[in-house]
Amino acid sequence: MMRRIELERGRRLTPADIVRTGGMDVEVLGVAQRIIDDVKARGDEALVEHTAQLDKVTLTELAVTQDEIEAALEAVDDDFRSAIATAAAAIEDFHRRQVTQSWFSTDESGIVLGQKVTPLSRVGIYVPGGRARYPSSVLMNAIPAIVAGVSEIAMVVPPAPDGSVDPHVLAAAAECGVSEIYKVGGAQAIAALAYGTETIARVDKITGPGNAYVTAAKKLVMGDVGIDMLAGPSEVLILADETAEPVFCAADLMAQAEHDPRAATYLVTTDPTLPDDVEAALAELLADAPRAEVIERSLVDNGLIVICPDIDSALDAADLIAPEHLEVMMAEPFELLGAIRNAGAIFLGPWTPESVGDYVAGPNHVLPTGGTARFSSPLSVDDFVKKSSVISYSLAGLEMDGPSVMTIAEAEGLDAHARAVGLRLALAYGIEDGVGGDE
């Protein structure tokens, strides 16, 4: 079912061995650009037209009303509300530990240096919707922003065919205290958040995953507005040895594959007998899986089993793939943690399925995909703040560092930079600045 590679001792996995489907389609970029330009030019009118054309929904109002939010809270059952409250509390607790404070230092000469941490004023969060529902995405995007101190959060979500928003999504928003919600999705929603319309005020940053058109639109507006990342298809890598339970491996591969036919699944193992056992378990579990067709296509098209001669080559393969989710199902998972360099989230031990990270563990489930875990991090409180350097020199400090400043400036041919220091010192001590000729 899944493609296999068996590494001989001394051979390493290479980028050519990995097939990924997350590249940006030029045609999709072109469609997204046309939609963005239209929303910039026509505002709300364009939002309504594109929603009618693309989502087959005719909107009379873009904003979700408080009555709709209250009706959603009545519509969901107590078990769901309790589960959402549990997840929200864990997510808030985890992200509060990420908060960075402003800091300042002063040296003997009176130089003050520091960093001022300021929350973003207004952010937009994109929650996938339409025929799907992702209340967990509401929590994962809104709570870090709230913890960071963001004062305004605008949420966009594609409407269902009847023009409503799923009550579970609205209930999750109510749990977070998010009440500014708009029934719009796709590239048009990203354009509205980035540039503003009559109804939707522009934001400073956009976060949250979406389809290919959403991702393309985020790429195109980046620079005019901040974004979190360009998310591709979801992925999981299971790093396993002979102690791994095959049915656990199979279940977790399926859990990722059911997202999307383009989702990527990897099994990297030092046990040559495990792949057959996992595939047997997959066949059994697929027999009654509601999303079996999606799962099977994902496993066949984008699944990869790598059989490694030793743990070092297995770790090397995992780091090359740099997965969004990395599960370590080995005898001593914590002993391997220090050797893992590239992963969005790391799940240690057989009792830690990736599903707990998606919902209730606390760490963020908005993670780098497509190998970008080599240089990117999960969504965090840091994504919702900006940092300003703070510098204050005393005269004694400028006297101490000024000559070095002038020397470097003159070497770069920037006379005015040097003079900005020289003039100050000259005024302070009643002498000519000695830079760039006579005064």
Instruction: Write the DSSP assignment of 217-228 as a string of letters.
Output: HHHHHBTTBEES
Task: Report yes or no: 216 and 190 within 8 Å, Cβ to Cβ.
Answer: no
Helices (H), ranges, 239-370 = 246-257, 274-286, 292-302, 311-321, 333-336, 354-359
User: Is 327 within 8 Å of 252 (Cβ atoms)?
Assistant: yes
pLDDT at residue 439, rounded to an integer: 42
CATH number at residue 210: 3.40.50.1980
Least confident among 35-39, 166-170, 230-234, 277-281:
230-234
- Can you tell me the distance from the alpha carbon of 380 to that of 33, in angstroms, rounded to the nearest whole number? 28
At residue 1, the pLDDT reads 83
State yes or no: pLDDT of 185 exceeds 90: yes
Q: Answer yes or no: is 380 within a domain.
A: no
pLDDT digits (tens, 9 = 90+) for 316-351: 999 999 999 999 999 999 999 999 999 999 999 999
Q: Are residues 126 and 257 in the same domain?
A: no
φ and ψ of 346, to 5 deg: -115, 125
Domain total in the chain: 3
pLDDT for residue 321: 97
Q: Judge whether 244 and 274 are in contact, CB under 8 Å.
A: yes
- Give the end of a domain, one of 231, 258, 274: 231
Q: Show contacts of 346-353: CB within 8 Å, 24+ apart.
A: 350/244, 350/245, 350/248, 352/327, 353/248, 353/251, 353/252, 353/255, 353/327
Co-location of 298 and 238 in the same domain: yes
In a domain, 157, yes or no: yes
Same domain, 226 and 245: no
The answer on pLDDT for 81 being more than 70 is yes
430 pLDDT band, cuts 50/70/90, is: confident
118 lies in the same domain as 161: yes
In this predicted structure, the answer to whether residue 236 has a pLDDT above a threshold of 60 is yes
Kindly indicate the confidence band of residue 437, based on its pLDDT and cuts at 50, 70 and 90.
Answer: very low
State the Cα–Cα distance between residues 38 and 382, nearest whole angstrom.
Answer: 32
pLDDT at 129: 84
| Same domain (yes/no): 415, 402 | yes
State the amino acid at position 50 in one-letter form: H
Do 277 and 256 sit in the same domain of this protein? yes
The pLDDT tens digits for 1-34 are 899 999 999 889 999 999 777 678 899 999 999 9
Which of these three, 313, 346, 361, is where a domain ends? 361
Longest Cα–Cα distance of the chain, Å, equals 89
State the average pLDDT over residues 258-278: 96
Q: Are residues 81 and 198 in the same domain?
A: yes
Residue 206 lies inside a defined structural domain of this protein: yes
* Region 362-387 average pLDDT: 97
User: To 5 degrees, how large is the angle CA 120–CA 156–CA 100?
Assistant: 25
Q: What is the mean pLDDT of the chain?
A: 95
Average pLDDT over residues 164-175: 96
168 shares a domain with 275: no
Q: Residue 434: its pLDDT value, please?
A: 54
Sign of CA dihedral 73, 74, 75, 80: positive
What average pLDDT does the segment 171-195 reach?
A: 97
Backbone CA torsion sign across 304, 307, 310, 311? positive
Angle at 213 between CA 211 and CA 215, to 5 degrees: 70
DSSP 44-102: HHHHHHHHHHHS----S-SBPPHHHHHHHHHHS-HHHHHHHHHHHHHHHHHHHTT----
Point out the residues that are catalytic: 324-325
The three-class DSSP label of residue 22 is: coil
Name which of 31, 60, 134 is nearest 359 in CA terms: 134
| pLDDT band at residue 183 using 50, 70 and 90 as cut-offs | very high
**Highest mean pLDDT of the ranges 10-14, 132-136, 258-262, 404-408:** 404-408
User: What residue numbers bound the domain in which 314 lies?
Assistant: 3-20+232-361
pLDDT on residue 20: 79
Name the strands in the sheet holding 103-106, side by side, starting at the edge strand that comes first in the sequence.
103-106, 112-119, 385-392
pLDDT in tens, 40-60: 999 999 999 999 999 999 998
Asked whether the predicted pLDDT for residue 233 surpasses 80, the reply is yes
Judge whether 384 lies within some domain: no
Q: For 122-156, how does the pLDDT look when each residue is reduced to its tens digit (9 = 90+)?
A: 999 999 986 678 999 999 999 999 999 999 999 99
Last residue of a domain, one of 185, 210, 231: 231
Amino acid 431: pLDDT: 75
Is it the case that residue 309 has pLDDT exceeding 80?
A: yes
Domain annotation covers residue 370? no
Q: Which residues does 277 contact at the CB level (< 8 Å), separation at least 6?
A: 246
pLDDT at 132: 73
3-state secondary structure of 430: coil
Structural domain includes residue 435 = no
Q: Is residue 439 part of a domain?
A: no
For the chain, the distance separating the N- and C-terminal CA atoms, rounded to the nearest angstrom, is: 82
In a domain, 436, yes or no: no
Residues 6+ apart with CB under 8 A from 437: none
